[in-house]
Amino acid sequence: MDMLVFGHGYSAGYLTPLLTAQGWRVTGTTRNDPGRVAAAGATPLIWPGQEADVRTAIARSDAILVSAAPDSDGDPVLTAFAADLAQARPRWLGYLSTTGVYGNRDGGWVDEDSALTPSSARGRERVEAEAAWQALAARHGLPLHIFRLAGIYGPGRGPFAKLRGGTAQRVIKPGQIFSRIHVEDIARILLASIATPAPGAIYNLCDDNPAPPQDIIACAAEMLGMPVPPAVDFDKADLGPMARSFYADSKRVRNDRMKRDLGIELLYPDYRSALAAIMKAEQA
C-alpha cells in the first residue's frame, strides 16, 4: 500500500512509522528538508520542484494525507494538483484542518456539527479550504475525511524548553480556555481512520481536558521542580502576533465522535499525562 503525504511535517513524522510497521510505503513532500522526511521512514519529494514525481505518486497512492496549510491564495495542493486528484482513486483521503474553524465561543463547547464561524484570517482560510476539498470530493467521488485538530503538542513542542530558558510566561486572560492533542494520539487516530474509511466523515481531534493555558505552564514547572512563573496579564504579555492571535478564540472541543466511531482510547487524555510523556521523551 502506498501513502502520499502533502506537507510531511511534525504530525506525519509520527504517523509514518506506524504505517511502515504495517508494510506501507510512504512518500512525503517537503519544501526544503528531505532529511527530516527520510529520517521518519518516508521517501521525500521536493515540492515545489518535483511536480512530475508528485503526480506519479498521486496516481499510485492508496491513501493521501493533506497536511499543507492554505494561505490567502487558497489551498496549495488543490491549486497545483486538482486535475490529478480528480483522476486519482485512493481508498482514503485525509485533510488536516483546525478547530480554529469554529471561532470564538467564549469558553463554550463545540462539536463537529457546530457552525463554522472563524474569527481569524487563518480560520477563514481553513473554512474555505475544507469547502474546496469537499467540492472536489463530491464531484469526483473521492473518500474525503476531515480532521479538525486542536493545539498540537509533543516532544519538542512543549513548555519545558521555555521554562528551562526562563522565557515561559503564565499569561492570564480571564475566561480563556483551549483544547489540545498530543501528536502520538493524532497519529493513532489517523491510522484508525485509514483502517476503517468512512468517506465524508469529520472528526475533532483533541483530548478530554480543555484547560486555561496558564495551568499547563504551572503544571510543567512543577514537574521540573521549578518555580511557577508569575502571572502576566494578557494585555501586557510579551507575545508575538501569531501567539497573540491564538488568544482570540476561547472554546472547549468535544471528541465523542472520534472515540465512538474510530474506537479510540487516548494515550494522553489530559495535559498532565501528555506533559509527563513529553518530559520523558525530551530527557531520553
Q: What is the pLDDT of residues 206-222, one digit of tens each?
A: 999 999 999 999 999 99
2-156+181-207+254-267 adopts what CATH topology? Rossmann fold (3.40.50)
Give the span between the Cα atoms of 53 and 34, in whole angstroms.
Answer: 14
Amino acid identity of 205? L
Question: What pLDDT digit, counting tens, does each position of 81-120 carry?
Answer: 999 999 999 999 999 999 999 999 999 999 999 999 999 9
pLDDT band at 10 (very low <50, low <70, confident <90, very high): very high
Residue 168 has what pLDDT? 92
Per-residue pLDDT for 242 more than 90? no
User: Which phi and psi (to 5°) does residue 118 adopt?
Assistant: -65, 145
User: For residue 139, is pLDDT > 80?
Assistant: yes
Compute the average pLDDT of residues 56-80.
Answer: 97
Cis bond upstream, residue 48 (ω within 30): yes
The pLDDT tens digits for 167-181 are 999 999 999 999 999
Amino acid in the structure at residue 75:
D
Residues 6+ apart with CB under 8 A from 147: 94, 95, 96, 97, 186, 189, 190, 193, 202, 203, 205
Cα–Cα distances in Å, from 199 out to 6, 16, 30, 46, 146? Answer: 19, 22, 27, 29, 9
Cell numbers 492533542: residue: 181
